Amino acid sequence: MRTLKHPISAPQSSAQFELTSYHYGKPGTGKKVYIQAALHADEVPGMLVAQFLRKRLDALDAAGQVRGEIILVPAANPIGLSQAIHGAPFGRFDLTTGVNFNRAYKHVADELKTKLDGKLGPDAHANVRTIREHALASVAAWQPKSDGEAHKKLLLEMAIDADIVLDLHCDNEAVLHIYAGTPLADAIAPLARLMGAHAVLLALAAGGEPFDEACSRLWWDLQAHFPEVPIPPACLSTTVELRGEMDVSYELAQQDADALVRFLAHAGVLDAEVGQLPAPLCEATPLEGVEPILAPHAGILVYKREMGERLKAGDAVADVIDAANGTVTPVCCTVDGVLFARTAHRHVLRGWNIGKIAGATAFRSGDLLSQ
């Protein structure tokens, strides 16, 4: 195991940020895996999971049981970890630029569509090697204009040529759920079963250029651009939402770390016990089928359904009670699906998102992720 320290700063910046990564196995001897936690720095569950995962990887690496290369970044956002507003952590947006730390990553496929012209052929494995080389060069050529962009470049430099990318997040309040690209549906199914996901949300492009898509979407975008040559979806990149912000416990962290080790063993990266895959808790559904439930007016929010419940169109998710006159307004879903996330606030303003229902039928388009 090697530990690396990476300084983060844009040209002419006076900032002093440092990111730590842990490296296991040997590059070039098998699959490459990249795992990071807390890209949104105020999302703590992944950071605790990473502590348990690091101990497991330390032992497996010392025993020679890593078959490939694994990079673990337990706290992926030192910039966000330094931010606070009125005494509260604030790690979702860069206070300098206002940009979400999980948006605006470089989509290298746009550049590679030109640079790869005439360089791909009938050998899919050779095409993967060529694309990864050019993807790394494209990221290396990125000229950051802010510390936030320098941070994003550093993360992509470690991840964009990986076979597996696991980005550990959490929602406000939620059951465990997973985001991935539609072409990765079959590949992501074992992870969803091992983690106990209540929703698996698929899209070709979620909008906003999040980190996981910066590593995966280039593959199907390039396949669509070069239909005459084989280009597989060579990066299984996913965002794993580890329940809610307050779901921070040793028991859950140990459970999640064990599931991740089993998944990596299933993928052939670790010599570890996989065991029987649990039965799936859900079927994958389109991200375009998620219904955001919005508050009709300001008031006291009282939930009538629990997270993970399967609802029918017309079911009341919650009541919003006007605190001044006592008017009660039921808030109902309009699709069948699973209530997989909701807000932790119990007084809301009009238009606030108070819940998300994973429906089976696509009906939305455009930017599909919350800000």
Structure confidence at residue 109 (pLDDT):
98
What integer best gives the mean pLDDT of the chain? 97
Structure confidence at residue 14 (pLDDT):
72
Under a CB-based contact definition with an 8 Å cutoff, are residues 69 and 23 in contact?
A: yes
Taking 90 as the threshold, does the pLDDT of residue 11 lie above it?
Answer: no
Q: What is the mean pLDDT of residues 311-337?
A: 98
Distance CA(296)–CA(178), nearest Å, equals: 28
Q: Which percentage of the chain shows pLDDT scores above 70? A: 100
Q: What is the mean pLDDT of residues 294-307?
A: 98
- For 154-166, give one letter per residue: b (16+ CB within 10 A) or e: bbbebbbbbbbbb
Q: What is the mean pLDDT of residues 194-206?
A: 98
Residues 6+ apart with CB under 8 A from 168: 35, 36, 37, 38, 45, 46, 49, 50, 240, 242
Structure confidence at residue 31 (pLDDT):
98
CA dihedral sign of residues 93, 96, 99, 105: negative
The 10s digit of each residue's pLDDT in 238-248 is 999 999 999 99
Q: Which percentage of the chain shows pLDDT scores above 90? A: 97
Under a CB-based contact definition with an 8 Å cutoff, are residues 220 and 233 in contact?
A: yes
Under a CB-based contact definition with an 8 Å cutoff, are residues 356 and 341 in contact?
A: yes
Structure confidence at residue 15 (pLDDT):
75
Q: What is the mean pLDDT of residues 199-220?
A: 98
pLDDT confidence of 13, banded at 50, 70, 90? confident
The neighbour count for residue 285, using CB atoms within 10 Å, is 21
Structure confidence at residue 344 (pLDDT):
96
- For 25-36, give one letter per residue: b (16+ CB within 10 A) or e: beeeebbbbbbb
Under a CB-based contact definition with an 8 Å cutoff, are residues 257 and 56 in contact?
A: yes
Taking 90 as the threshold, does the pLDDT of residue 52 lie above it?
Answer: yes
Distance CA(174)–CA(166), nearest Å, equals: 19
Taking 90 as the threshold, does the pLDDT of residue 286 lie above it?
Answer: yes
Taking 90 as the threshold, does the pLDDT of residue 12 lie above it?
Answer: no
Give the C-alpha distances (Å, rounded to integers) separating 316 from 125, 247, 330.
51, 25, 6
Distance CA(160)–CA(158), nearest Å, equals: 6
Distance CA(166)–CA(161), nearest Å, equals: 13
Taking 80 as the threshold, does the pLDDT of residue 130 lie above it?
Answer: yes
The 10s digit of each residue's pLDDT in 334-350 is 999 999 999 999 999 99
The 10s digit of each residue's pLDDT in 58-107 is 999 999 999 999 999 999 999 999 999 999 999 999 999 999 999 999 99
Structure confidence at residue 16 (pLDDT):
84
